Every structure is written in structure tokens, then in C-alpha cells.
Amino acid sequence: MYKKFFLLILIVILSLQFINPIFCDVLEKKDPFLAGVLSWYMPGLGQFYAGKYLKGSIFWIVENTLFMSAVLTVADMNFSVNKDIGFQFNIQPKESLTKKQTTIGISLFISYGIFHIYNVVDAVRTVKKRNSISKSHARIKFNYKYIAYNNHYMIDYKF
């Protein structure tokens, strides 16, 4: 009798562990303002908050690449290891910039600013879209109940 009871408890725990996260993720409401603030301070973090990990990673990579490209166009960077203080990182503006370098640098900084604003707006939109999914739009509805039948316990699943 106890073995069957513990087996039933084990089945319930395993079913809740593997199935419940699917539905909690769909039904949990997120704050769009917080998503925007997170994306403002760290690119892609608002998308991560909304559960869009690939999208957030792409935003992080593109925005940081734009920023570093813009900085490297107009500045010289020196990165070295010093025995006394550890890592040493220096950024010095380039002494003479050609017209082409100036144009490219300004274009990259403007692109970075536009992409950063788009990142924040997209994070807010992604959370609002996620919040618009209601319980009725969930992919699978999972209900279960326990049935005691002739000293046997059964789990009745309905999808």
C-alpha cells in the first residue's frame, strides 16, 4: 500500500516538475516599463525578461558591436597586463582623423543611438505581446485528478 502511495506521489511530482513551467511561463504577467528600463541599462535584458533569449542575445551582440566599432573608429585603445596593478585599459582619442573616419564614426554612433532606442521599444512591445496571451490561448490545457478505484490509484489526464 505504501509503495503505491509513494509511487503516486513520485508521478505527481515529476508531472508537475516537467509540465508546470510551460504554463506558468505563458500565464505570468510581466511589467512592460521594467522591460524598457532593463533594456535601457543593458541591451537585450528586457527581451530576456520577456523570455525571448535568442532575441535578447542578438540585441546585445549587435548593440555592443556597434558601440565598440564607433569607439574604435575615433579612438585608440590600449589593453595590457601590468604586474603591479593587473589589467590596464586606456582609450585615447586619435590625434588626426580623416574625413572618412569622422563620417564613419558619426554614422556608427547615430546607428548605435537609433538601435538602442529600438531595443527599448522592442522590449516593451515584446512584453505587451506576451501579456496579451491569456489562459484561453495557452497551447495545452492540462488538468488532472486522482481516482481511487479498487484500491488502485489512477491519474486522469485531460488535454
User: How does DSSP assign 111-140, residue by residue?
Assistant: HHHHHHHHHHHHHHHHHHHHHH--GGG-S-
**pLDDT tens digit at each of 159 positions of the chain:** 556 665 656 565 555 544 444 444 455 788 999 999 999 999 999 999 998 899 999 999 999 999 999 988 888 888 888 777 777 778 888 888 889 989 999 999 999 999 999 999 999 999 998 888 754 455 554 555 555 555 555 555 544
Q: Which residues contact 10 (CB under 8 A, 6 or more apart)?
A: none
Determine the pLDDT at residue 153.
53
Choose among 32, 53, 34: nearest CA to 127: 32
CA pair distance 139, 131, nearest whole angstrom:
15
Domain count, the chain: 1
Structural domain harbouring 96: 2-158
Determine the pLDDT at residue 138.
52
Task: Let me know: does 67 contact 112? Beta carbons within 8 Å.
Answer: yes
